[in-house]
Structure formats: structure tokens, C-alpha cells
Structure 1
Amino acid sequence: MRPAWATFGQDGFHRDWDYTRRVLITLLVIGLAYFLWLISDILLLIFAAILLAVLLSFLADLMTRYTPVPRRWSLSVTVVLVAALVIGFLGLFGAQIGGQITQVVEKLPEAINAAAARLNISNATERIEEALASGSGRLLSRLAGLGSSVVGALANLVLVVVAAIYLAADPTLYRRGAIQLLPPSQHDRILDAMDVSGNALRLWFGGQLVTMTLVGVASALAYWWVGLPSPVALGIIAGVTNFVPYLGPIMGAIPAMVFALATDLTTAMWTLVAVVAIQQLEGNVITPFIQQRAVSLPPAVVLFAIVVFGLVFGLLGVFLAVPLTVTLMILVKKLWVRQVLGEETTVPGEADSPGGRRRGPTPTEE
């Protein structure tokens, strides 16, 4: 029979070890969260590369399906064709668009003065120049910072494009490397979640691209009909800014409204009518029709996602807020709502995944 002091000492040792282990695990989790926060900008770039890789892979699959190009060459041909289209667009239309944007810049002081005069503000551009001159030192430092930011943004863009090509070339390699960090029993679930997330991002990106194109074309035609200068440039601004829901259309309409106010009140009224009509058409007809087979997020979720990701990650977070939300929604529905809670829920993009509309095992099935 063991002495009582021996049993007490062993139990006390186990209690101390359990407490120490919990403290170590807590510290490890806190340290990991802090490390992820430090590299959050890099994680956003990685997500941007994954988003672009999904698009390139989708185009390569379409090429393999509908052309005689073999699978091993489809990605290379896709990258070359996309690069050729971008270069061709810039070559054919770059000079024209650049000329119209130059006209916008040249007419901007006059437009500012005219718009300010209607608000009983005289010599608005001179006041702006005086304010800039008084803070010229700070302005130069800010311009220098802006220049470095532009260079950094271009470097990040090149990094994202190159990384996306590597990811699209051999996605299996990186998928297997990622799931090695998790227990083997979870590999199938994580791979299925990756497949569905990729399909959902593909559907969302395709729908958003179509929406941006339609909004850009409709805006350019409306601005041309109203009589605004440089309608093509203003239409491109409206289409590109429409990538960010809610906030983007407002920012895209500001240049058009400035030039409309500089012309006359009638032009301003018709421009405002055109902007509101296009956005109502986009929000109530175009987007619901295009996204009904893609990813449909509740409007309030999208709005709060833009605010939260913008506050946490800055401008890049604003641009990636919606695809990030789509990915998080897929992971939460598949890995938490289904796997942990055992609830039935529809998951966008699941019908096109390799497993079809496969429902993951619930806790009772395991």
C-alpha cells in the first residue's frame, strides 16, 4: 500500500503540470496572434495572390476544356494572352484615355472655381495654392512619402502577380503543404473547404467583373449624353471604383459631379439623375441578376466588412474586404455550422466543387 504523502505529492504534481501546460498554451496562442498581426500586410498580399491565382486557374481550365491546348500549357498560354490583352489595351486606348485624363486635370482648377462660386466661395484655387504654399515643407515630405508608397505598391503588385502564377501552376503542392500543419483526420475537410472557397471566389470575381464593365459602359454613355467632358475617363473611374460596394460608387461619382457643377445647374441635375439611376439599376437589377448563381452576401455584412477591414488593414483591406468576407463565410458555414453545430446550411460554390453538393459529417455522424 502506497503512503498517503506519495499519492498527494503525485496528484499535486499533476495539478501543477496541468496548470503550467495551460499557461504555456495560452502564451503560445497570444504569441501566435501577435505574430500574425505583425505580418498582417503580408497575409493580405498572400490572399491577393490566391485570388488572382484562382482567376488564372479558372481561365486555364476553360482553355483546356474548349480548345486543343493541353493542360500543362494552358496556364502559360493564359498568362501570355492576359498580358497581351493588357498591353494591347494600353497601346490602343492608352493615348486616348491619357489625353482625356489630361483634359480633366487641366480643367480641374476652372471646375473647382466654378463649383465654389456657386457656394459663394471666391478664388478657391488661389486659396488652395496659398494653403499649399504655407505648408510646402510638409507637402514635400508627404509627396516623398507618397512616391515611396507608389513604388512600394508597384513592388507589391509585381510580387502578387508572380506569386499568383506560381500558385496557379501547382496548387496541389501548396495545398498539401498547408494541410500538413493540421491533424491527418482534418485533411479531407480542409481540402473540401479550400475547393468550395476557390469556387465561390471564382464566381464572385466573375460576377463583379461583369458588373464593373456594365457600370463603366453605362456611366460613360450617360456622361456623353449629358455633355460632360472626357466621358470615357469618367466612365472608367466609375467602373473601377465599383469594385468596392457602397463606398466605391460614391467616390466614382465625385469627379463627374464636380464637372457638372462647373457647367451649369441643369447639367448637374442630369448628372445626378444619371448617377442615381445607374446605381439603382446596378443595385436592384444588374448585381442580383448576375450574382444569383454566384455569391450573395447580405448588404449589412458587406458594409460592416468594408468598415472593419478598412480600419484594421487600411486601403488594401477596403479593396479585399468582400472577397475576404466571402472566404470567411464559406469556412464558417462548412467548418463550424456544419461540422461543429451539425446544422444544415447552403454553401455558395459547393455545387461546382469536386464533391458536388456534399454535406460534411456532423458530430452525430462521427
Structure 2
Amino acid sequence: MLGTVAEKVAAPSWSIRDAIGWIAGITAAGFVIYLFYNELLLVLLAILLAVSLRGAAERVAKHSPLSIHWALALIVILVVLAIVGFCMWVGPQLVQQGHDLVKSLTQEFNDLKARYGQSGIGKQVMQKVSSGGSDAQSLAAPLIKVAGSTVGAIAAFFVLVVTMLYFASNPDLYVKGIVTLMPKPRRARVREVMGKVAHVLRWWFLGQLIDMAVVGALSVAGMLIIGLPMALALGVLAGLLTFVPYFGAILAAIPALAIAAGQGTHMLLLTAVVFAICHLVEGYIVSPLVQDRMVRLPPALLILSMTFVGALFGPMGVVLATPIAVAGLVLVSELYVVDALGDESGRDVTSRK
């Protein structure tokens, strides 16, 4: 009898009206995401960067006499100086190696074309590649498209930086705006969950930066040791692509292996060994250390999230699929498992130190 009463007291108080409200809200949110997914992905990236900057500023302010705003300004200045210094230090060499890399890949493609272009499959591939024609109009169209994409990318970058700085400088303003839209009894809980999402995203981003730096440094060192040309450009590319789990490692290895193939089978095998060692170190040594303070996403869930989000939103979706999955896991654990189902074990997902 007492057990039955306790179960009734502990049961979540959800009504049909609540369920209909949630379904309507999710449907409306899905429709808005479908219409404005490019802009929303840009906002998500700005939030991810802003959360990381704010976390770093809070840490600096905690251990120094600086206020949070002065600490944030200091961190932004240091980041800008680091980027400028990197560009001045290795920029010319990186640009030259990048140019050589494109030239070498083009030469490798031409060699493959000359070697296999007369085969049945080769003729079909060449026909599809060259189906655009060679008239002036068909040649001008891609140039116009590239010019438009460049202008759009510059505008998006400007919006990203400005939005990120506004979010990082005064996050309470935007959090309060979202919380105000919620029913009064739920506002404190919504604010708490948003704080947990920000905490998890902050540590995930820091972990990715560490992974990227380790893979980039090991790749450059390994390719310099084996004597592979354009080691710096290939290593920087490998480090940047590490931001995308699993798929990034595969994409980073493709140009390096293509260059190594032109140097002979011996160099090809050495390059494959270098990339295998880099990602074994990253996957079995670095990641377990940095993920101790992160949400541990199951590998299958991570791959599926990148597959589905990439199919829906394109390349930008693949890049941001992991933080979307991280935030989604926290929201489901806190709002559904803990609040709706009353299962406190859902808090284990967000209880990293």
C-alpha cells in the first residue's frame, strides 16, 4: 500500500495538454529549422565559440584581479595575436606548400586520367567530369558562383565574429530572454539545464582543440621524418579536419596518400603508418584523457548523428553534428529522462567534473 502511494507521488505529472504542447512545439521548431538551417547552424557555431570564450574568461577572472569583461578582451586579443603570429611565421611557407599540394594533386589526377582514361569506366568518369562544356558561358558560370560564394563566406564570417562577441560579453541577456518564454515554475530548471549544456559544450570544444593540436603536430613531425613533401600543409590540414571525428581522419589521409603514391610504394606505406600512429595516439591516449570531463557519446550514435545531420544540412551539418549531438544528449537526459520520467540516473551524463 505504501509502495503504491509512493509510486503515485513520484510519478511525473504530465497531462495530454502537456504532450500536445510539446508535439506542437517540436513540430514548429522543426519547420523553422528546415527554413533557416544555414542561419541556425551559423548561430550554433557562434554559441559554441562564445561559450568557450566565456568559460576561458571566467577562469582567468577567477584567478586574477581582472573582471570578466577585461579577461574576455585579453583572451580575444591573445587569440588574434596568435593567429596573426602564426600567419606571419608559417603563413608564406604554408601558402607555398598549399599551392604545391594543389599542383601535385592535379598532376596525380592527370596521370590517372592518362593511365585509365581509355578504359570503359575511365571514359564514363571523364565524360561526367567534362560534361559542363568549354564555351564561354559554361566557363563563366562557375567563376560567378565562386565569387558569390566568397562574398557570402566573408559576410557569414563577419556575422559569426560579431555574434560570438556579443554572446560571450553578455550571455545572461540572451539566457534571460529564452528563460522568460518558459512558464514561471520551469524557469529555474530551464536556466539550470542551459548552464549544463554550456558546460558540456565548453569542455567538448576544448577537447577538440587539444585533439586537433596533437594530430597536427604529430602529422607534421611524422611526415618530416619520412621525408614526405609539403609536410606542413598536410599536417595543418590533418589537424583542422580532426574537428570532425572519424570522417575527418579519413579525409585528411587522402591527399597525403595521393602525394605519397607519386613517391613510390615505400613512401605510401610509411605515410599510412604515420597517419595510423597519429590517430591511434589521439584515439587511445589523448581522447580518453580529455573526455574525462565531457559527455561520452557512443561511437555508433556519433556516426549516425553525423550521417543524418550531414544529409539534412550538408557539409556544415557534418562539422557541427557532434556538438549538436552533445547538446541533444544533455537535453534529453535532463528534460526527458530526469524531469519527465523521474529517473535520476539521467544526471550521470552531465555530472563530469
Same fold flag (TM > 0.5): yes
| Structure 2 residue corresponding to 1:96, chosen from 85, 93, 118 | 93
Partner deviation per Cα, 1:12-68 (whole Å, 9 max, x = no partner): xxxxxxxxxx99998887566433421222221211111111111012112212333
- What CA deviation, in whole Å up to 9, does each residue of 1:103-136 have, x standing for no partner? 223333333345667x6568x9xx79x9388355
| 2:155 alignment counterpart | 155
Q: Distance in 2 between matches of 1:149 and 1:214?
A: 32
Cα displacement (A) at 1:234: 0.5
Which residue of structure 1 lines up, in the alignment, with residue 130 of structure 2? 131
AA at the equivalent of 1:53:
A
Q: Could you tell me how far 1:229 is from its partner in structure 2?
A: 0.6
SS of 2:288's equivalent? helix
- Out of 59, 63, 68, the position equivalent to 2:65 is 68
SS of residue matched to 2:346: coil
SS of match in other structure, 1:330: helix
**1:106 matched to 2:107:** no
Counterpart residue number, 1:307: 307
Distance 1:81 1:87 in 2: 10
1:78 alignment counterpart: 75
- Report how far residue 286 of structure 1 moved: 2.0
1:44-95: per-residue Cα shift (whole Å, max 9, x none)? 1211111111111012112212333223322222222211221221122211
Q: Distance in 2 between matches of 1:303 and 1:28?
A: 27
- Structure 2 unaligned regions, length at least 5: 1-18
Structure 2 counterpart of 1:204, one-letter code: W
Q: Is 1:244 paired with 2:241?
A: no
User: What amino acid is the match of 1:134?
Assistant: G
> Aligned partners of 1:115, 1:226: CA distance in 2, in Å?
25
Residue 86 and residue 23 in structure 1: after superposition, are their counterparts in 2 closer, same or farther (change >3 A)? Answer: closer
SS at match of 1:292: helix
When residues 39 and 200 of structure 1 are mapped into structure 2, their CA distance, relative to the original with a 3 A threshold, is same
Q: Judging changes above 3 Å, is the alpha-carbon distance between structure 1 residues 27 and 227 closer, same or farther for their aligned structure 2 residues? A: closer
The CA deviation string for residues 287-324 of structure 1, in whole angstroms up to 9 with x for no partner, is 12221232211000110000111111111111110001
What is the number of equivalent residue pairs in this alignment?
328
Task: Tell me: CA distance 1:277–1:77, structure 2 relative to 1, closer, same or farther (3 Å).
Answer: closer
Looking at structure 2, the residues matched to 229 and 202 of structure 1 have their Cα atoms a distance apart, in angstroms, of: 36
CA distance in 1, matches of 2:269, 2:64: 50
2:269 alignment partner, SS class: helix
Tell me which of the two structures has the higher relative contact order, counting C-alpha pairs closer than 8 angstroms and 6 or more residues apart.
2
Cα distance in 2, alignment partners of residues 244 and 61 from structure 1: 27
Map 1:288-307 → 2, pairs under 5 A:
288-307=288-307
Deviates more, 1:78-87 or 1:260-269: 78-87
The 5 Å alignment of 1:1-366 reads: 33-113=30-110, 131=130, 134-135=133-134, 137-343=137-343, 344-350=345-351
Report the aligned-residue RMSD.
2.8
For 1:150, give the aligned amino acid: T
- The letter for the 2-side match of 1:84 is L
Q: CA deviation at 1:182?
A: 1.0
Greater C-alpha radius of gyration: 1
1:172–1:146 Cα change, 3 Å: same
Question: Following the alignment from structure 2 to structure 1, what is the Cα–Cα distance between the partners of residues 24 and 339?
Answer: 28
Q: C-alpha offsets along residues 250-296 of structure 1, whole Å, 9 cap, x if unaligned? A: 11111100111001111111111222222223222221222123221
Give the fraction of aligned pairs with identical amino acids, expressed as a percent: 32
> Is the CA contact (8 Å cut-off) linking 1:115 and 1:258 kept in structure 2?
no
**In 1: Cα distance, 2:154 partner to 2:332 partner:** 33
Q: For 1:159-178, what per-residue CA distance to the aligned partner results, in whole angstroms no more than 9, with x for missing partners?
A: 11111111111111111111
* Contact 2:105 2:255 (8 Å CA) reproduced: no
Contact 2:101 2:230 (C-alpha < 8 Å) held by counterparts: yes
**Cα 1:107/1:69, change in 2 over 3 Å:** same
| 2:130 alignment partner AA | A
Change (3 A) 1:28 1:226: closer
Quick one: structure 1 residues 349 and 157, their matched pair in 2 at CA, closer, same or farther if it must change by over 3 Å? farther
